[in-house]
Structure 1
Amino acid sequence: MTWSFSIGKVAGTVIRIHVTFFLLLIWIWFMHYRIGGTAAAWEGVAYILAIFACVVLHEFGHALAARRYGIKTPDITLLPIGGLARLERMPEEPRQELFIALAGPMVNVVIAAIIIVGLGGSAGIEQMMQVEDPRADFLVRLAGVNIFLVLFNMIPAFPMDGGRVLRALLATRLTWARATQIAAGIGQGLAFLFGFLGLLYNPLLIFIAIFVYLAAAAEAQNAQIRDIANSVLTGDVMVTEFASFDRSSTIAQAIDRLLATTQSEFPVLDPAGHLEGLLTRNDMIAALKETGPDAPVVSAMRTDIPRVHRRQSLTESFRLMQESGAPAVAVMDSEGRLVGLLTHETIGEMMMVRSAMPEGFRLGRRRGGAPLVRRS
């Protein structure tokens, strides 16, 4: 996620903080300073940090549950409105997603229970509801926040955990795409409700509404891609006409080609047509600044590009693209020569074509690579 930076790594998962999180801390400091001075201001900051420590533990609950099914969590990002654990791929079965989704809230249940037991059970519901009152007991408020996190995250709408629980339950009877569509639709409906309540009561709800709406839309789109990709081969949607470079090409030549075409990713090939690396627009601009226009393209190209056979399913290619974070997937023939590129743009174009295509037609390619829309 842009505008975020790493503060460390735990069990292979990078913990990142978005820069807007510090704006929240500054705002909390001044609000508490106006109420009780410097001591209250720093106590308010400590309270927010304690809350976000609980949020991190919540996200690690998801990460540890996902690891049980062989799913890694590359990073966890802290935002002013909460945390976001990025899984390298989605669970393959509804019960797996159900377990992963419930693991996070269960961490908050355990934290609240430990605090309440540690206080001797003296914390009442009314006291724990005073989460925004700086005069209330620190630990009692923290227990209340963890209970609130459980209730809020279990709202049955994307992208909250409750939405994922809802999708997992629906997916036991419906297709994954249909279950996602329903859960995402509920999420977007609640986003409008949050936005309306934010106008009346708390402006923070407006930001939550925007995040919920966009995240629900993105989840629905990903599910639609997965559903379509199951019946499409990578070779059916790959880009087959593209400019490429050889090892002797320079950054200056790459810049010329960038300006003359609409490409953003350029493969670097050996004389036999085998892929050696991929040069992206950002790579060449960075190299132009650091090493100059005469530098060879091989000094700036990426070599960690996933490679798939043209007959491999689009589902597998899309999964590799998500897991690697690569800008493209190299599509190879049986001799290992590059025959096409799969990018996020080509997948988006495929989605537009499929949504506009008449019933009974499907995508494919004629022999020789020419695109073809044909009847199923």
Structure 2
Amino acid sequence: MRAGKFAGVELLVNNWFIGLIAFFALCGLVSKVLLVFSAVLWHELAHMLMAMGLGYKVRQIELLPFGAVARVERLADAGATSEIMIAAAGPLASFGLAALCYTEWNEVSNWQDVFKFYGEVNLMLALFNLLPALPLDGGRILRAVLSLRRDYRSATAIVVMISYGITGLLVILAGISYWLHRTVNLTLLVAAAFLLLTARTENTLAGFRTMRILAHKKAQLLARGIMPAQHLTAMENAALHDIVRLFGAEEYNIVHIVDQNFKLCGALTETEVWEGLLKKGINSKINEFL
């Protein structure tokens, strides 16, 4: 259901979310549920405002039964620095709101329970999202840091393996909780299932990201006639996999090839490099393309 617009961004309320609110209202817990989802919305708004500040267009924010999602155009194509800034904005905003709640908790006696609960919600939201697992903020930050030293796909694969490890740990914790208290911790099990499914999806999508980024760059260059470029210099016997991992996501890449005497042998555009990769493979030498 469409709930309106905020700063040009469409706000949607999922039908399941409406049903959940109605259910908890019947149980007398609607106030706490609304506090939880306002904390989630605040977290997502921080992502949205950072993305908008970096020049990305935010289309929608949708409230879901177990959180919220901001739909940002070309977010998957962001460079490492932009991805870190956007991902970190959410946990930082949640930590800030938690700190404010704990400050007010000691000042306003009539609202101590509310501020304490709201502070705990925001603190747990920030800490959970900082787990180094995809698609959480911590996983995106870790992948962006790793992609500074290696290609995006291998960086994603590493974080996906860590995500599987965290998933296993959550299941073990749920098992320990059942063994000690004879209760099933649905929160841990749902979180584990969520991370397992979404991490697998992230791993699949990573393989298509490079071609999608290149297509966007070419369209942008055709439309504007000019765009920022990154120039790289490579020895003629340099391996292709060492070159493509240095390609930036936010500028068009030009590779200059020099021989052992540092004389220019030629230059290749990013498009030519990727086309050559498809024909000769990732372990080929750059001089094979001249």
TM-score (ref. length: structure 1):
0.51
Which residue of 152, 157, 170 maps to 1:181? 157
- Which segment is superposed worse, 178-187 or 191-200? 191-200
Q: Secondary structure at the match of 2:74?
A: coil
Pick aligned residue for 1:89 from 46, 69, 74: 74
Structure 1 residue 103: Cα displacement: 0.4
Unaligned runs of 5+ in 1: 34-40, 124-135, 231-312, 320-357, 363-375
Provide Cα deviations, 1:257-282, integer angstroms capped at 9, x if missing partner: xxxxxxxxxxxxxxxxxxxxxxxxxx
Moved more, 213-222 or 167-176: 213-222
- 2:199 is matched with 216
The one-letter code of the counterpart of 1:145 is V
Q: What is the letter of the counterpart of residue 55 of structure 2? A: G
Deviation at 1:218, TM superposition (A): 2.2
Q: Counterpart of 2:15?
A: 19
Greater CA drift, 99-108 or 216-225:
216-225
The residue type paired with residue 60 of structure 2 is D
Report 1:113-152 matches (<5 A).
113-120=99-106, 137-152=113-128
SS in 2 for 1:14: strand
* Correspondence for 2:138 among 157, 162, 182: 162
Aligned equivalents of 1:150, 1:116: Cα separation in 2: 15
In structure 1, which of residues 205, 209, 214 is the aligned counterpart of residue 188 of structure 2?
205
* Among candidates 34, 46, 55, match of residue 40 of structure 2: 55
State the match for 2:89 in structure 1.
Answer: 103
Q: Determine the C-alpha separation between the residues in 2 that align with 1:229 and 1:48.
A: 39
Alignment CA distance shift 1:23-1:208 (3 Å): farther
Aligned equivalent of 2:55: 70
Q: What letter is aligned with 1:65? A: M
Report the Cα offset of residue 359 of structure 1: 9.0
Helix, strand or coil at the partner of 2:190: helix
Q: Distance in 2 between matches of 1:23 and 1:63?
A: 26
Taking the TM superposition and a 5 Å limit, the aligned residue runs for 1:248-327 are 313-316=214-217
Taking only the aligned residue pairs, the percentage that are identical comes to 32
Instruction: Count how many residue pairs are aligned between Structure 1 and Structure 2.
Output: 218
* Alpha-carbon offset, residue 192 of structure 1: 4.1
How far the C-alpha of 1:318 sits from its partner, in A, is: 10
The structure-2 alpha-carbon separation of the partners of 1:17 and 1:190, relative to structure 1 and needing over 3 Å to count, comes to farther
Q: Take 1:121 and 1:214, find their aligned partners in 2: how far apart are those partners?
A: 43
AA of the residue aligned to 1:223: A
Paired residue secondary structure (1:223): helix
* AA partner of residue 96 (structure 2): V
Q: Secondary structure at the match of 2:117?
A: helix
What is the match of residue 261 of structure 1?
A: none
* 1:190 maps to which of 166, 171, 186: 166
Checking the alignment, whether the CA contact within 8 Å between 2:167 and 2:192 is kept in structure 1 is yes
CA separation of 1:361 and 1:145: change in aligned 2, threshold 3 A: closer
Residues 216 and 119 (structure 1), Cα distance of their counterparts in 2 relative to 1, 3 Å cut? same
Q: Find the aligned partners of 1:93 and 1:204 in 2 and give their Cα distance.
A: 33
Query: Cα distance, 1:108 vs. partner?
Result: 0.9
The farther-off stretch of 216-225 and 166-175 is 216-225
Residue 57 of structure 2 aligns to a residue whose secondary structure is coil
Q: How far 1:317 sits from its partner (Å)?
A: 8.1
- Match of 1:174, SS state, is coil
Q: In structure 2, what residue type is equivalent to 1:48? A: V
Letter in 2 for 1:46: S
Query: What is the deviation of 1:161?
Result: 0.6
Map of 1:153 onto structure 2? 129
Return the alpha-carbon distance in structure 2 between the equivalents of residues 213 and 316 of structure 1.
32
- 1:167 is displaced (CA, Å) by 0.8
Query: Do the aligned partners of 1:14 and 1:74 also contact (CA within 8 Å) in 2?
Result: yes
Query: What is the CA-CA distance between 1:82 and the residue it aligns to?
Result: 1.4
Q: Once the 2 structures are TM-superposed, how far is the Cα of residue 195 of structure 1 from its aligned partner? A: 4.6
Shift in alpha-carbon separation, 1:75–1:192, aligned structure 2, 3 A: farther
Aligned CA-pair RMSD: 3.1
Which blocks of at least 5 consecutive residues in structure 2 are unaligned?
179-183, 221-277, 283-288
1:66-93 alpha-carbon deviations (Å, 9 max, x no partner)? 1122111211222222121122112532
- How far apart are residue 204 of structure 1 and its match? 3.4
Is the helix fraction higher in 1 or 2?
2
CA contact (8 A) 1:17 1:79 kept: yes
1:32-72 CA deviation, whole Å, 9 max, x = no partner?
Answer: x4xxxxxxx1xx21121022111111101001111122111
**What is the SS of the residue equivalent to 1:137?**
helix
Larger Rg over CA atoms:
1
